Amino acid sequence: MKALVLVGGFGTRLRPITYAIPKQLIPVAGKPMLYHVLDMLPKEIEEVVFASGYKADVLDAYLRSHPLPWPTRCVPEAEPLGTGGGMKNASDGISDPFLLLNSDVIADVRAADVIAFHRRHGGLGTMSLFEVEDTRPYGVAALGEKDRIERFVEKPAPEDAPSHWINAGLQIWARKVIDRIPGGRAVSWENEIVPGLLAEGVYGFRMGGFWEDAGTPERLLRAQRLLFDAHRGGAGSLPRGARGTGPVAAGPGVGAKDATFGPYVHLGEGVVIEAGAHVENSILMDGVHVGLGASVTGAILGPNVRVRPASTIRGQVLGEGSEA
């Protein structure tokens, strides 16, 4: 089986960092979000095809320098084609059935279990579902007998949501669904295509454990906490000479002597935290410098951001090279 991974979209909710890199390459708990997403895949996957768009060249270069355990291929689109258009554009040579993955979702699920479920139920497709309180940002499924999906509504108003089970972003589909996507224009898979497929047998795989769409700053930091709590953030020990509590995922060349930490921190390569500074619940990308006695909490700092001595950063997203 092959996997088609949707990696287009502008990542607008994670600007200004996404002006320079696609959101899938923002690191959480030790490695880019995308690499955590792909941890769901079994090693038997034949090929991983990336339907890319925005910053496709940056993604492609990163994949080449940080190879994955499967053969990979990027199929960029000249302009954003939406989730459905992106699928169609990248579908040459795709398997029957194929896995379809959103690239900003971290979850406590193994694709192998969803594949087994799909083989048991048959039908045109399987969507993995997760139960959430607030369904507004998601696609919502109503389940009938034997977990057959009877209705699917993308981002409904709360009063129109047919349940609390949302599309978790890991799906399996028969190859022929690609023919149902109109060509030559942007298409939303969830809005325009999925509802029309339900009559042919689409089933919902109910996931447990944890799940998060890491597409906004708050949810990205929550995803990081979930990954660390699930021991998917590496050893998590404090950098040498630092005090406080972990987990901290520190890249090579980090210096943080006499700095203090609260839990849930990612430090990219070459990050320097000066003495007396404090960092907690944050992501500091490569080359960030935090000055003496500064404090960084709930923040996402792009590459080479400089935090001035004694300054306080709370809940901000700062773009590459900025000073605060």
135 binds ligand GDD (CB under 6 A): no
Among 1, 8, 107, 222, binds ligand GDD (CB under 6 A): 8
The entry of Mg ion, ligand GDD, none that residue 154 binds, CB within 5 to 8 Å by partner kind: ligand GDD
Q: Which of residues 43-102 bind ligand GDD (CB under 6 A)?
A: 51, 53, 77, 80-83, 86, 102
287 binds ligand GDD (CB under 6 A): no
Q: Which residue is nearest to Mg ion (CB)?
A: 215
CA–CA gap between residue 240 and residue 257 (Å, rounded): 6
CB of 106 or CB of 248, closer to Mg ion: 106
202 binds ligand GDD (CB under 6 A): no
CA–CA gap between residue 47 and residue 99 (Å, rounded): 11
190 binds Mg ion (CB under 5 A): no
Q: CB 227 → Mg ion: shortest distance, Å? A: 16
The entry of ligand GDD, Mg ion, none that residue 212 binds, CB within 5 to 8 Å by partner kind: none
Q: Which of residues 194-223 bind Mg ion (CB under 5 A)?
A: 213, 215
Q: Which of residues 171-200 bind ligand GDD (CB under 6 A)?
A: 190
CB of 169 or CB of 246, closer to ligand GDD: 169
Residue at token pair 């399987």: 126
CA–CA gap between residue 33 and residue 311 (Å, rounded): 28
The entry of Mg ion, ligand GDD, none that residue 177 binds, CB within 5 to 8 Å by partner kind: none
CA atoms within a 13 Å half-sphere pointing along the CA-CB vector of 125: 28
CA–CA gap between residue 271 and residue 255 (Å, rounded): 6
215 binds ligand GDD (CB under 6 A): yes
The residues pairing with 126 across neighbouring beta strands, listed in sequence order, are: 172, 203
- Name residues whose C-beta falls within 8 Å of residue 4's C-beta, 6 or more positions apart in sequence: 49, 51, 87, 90, 91, 94, 98, 99, 100, 101
The entry of Mg ion, ligand GDD, none that residue 47 binds, CB within 5 to 8 Å by partner kind: none
CA–CA gap between residue 86 and residue 68 (Å, rounded): 22
Residues near ligand GDD, by CB under 6 A:
6-9, 51, 53, 77, 80-83, 86, 102-105, 137-139, 154, 166-167, 169, 190, 213, 215
Residues near Mg ion, by CB under 5 A:
104, 213, 215
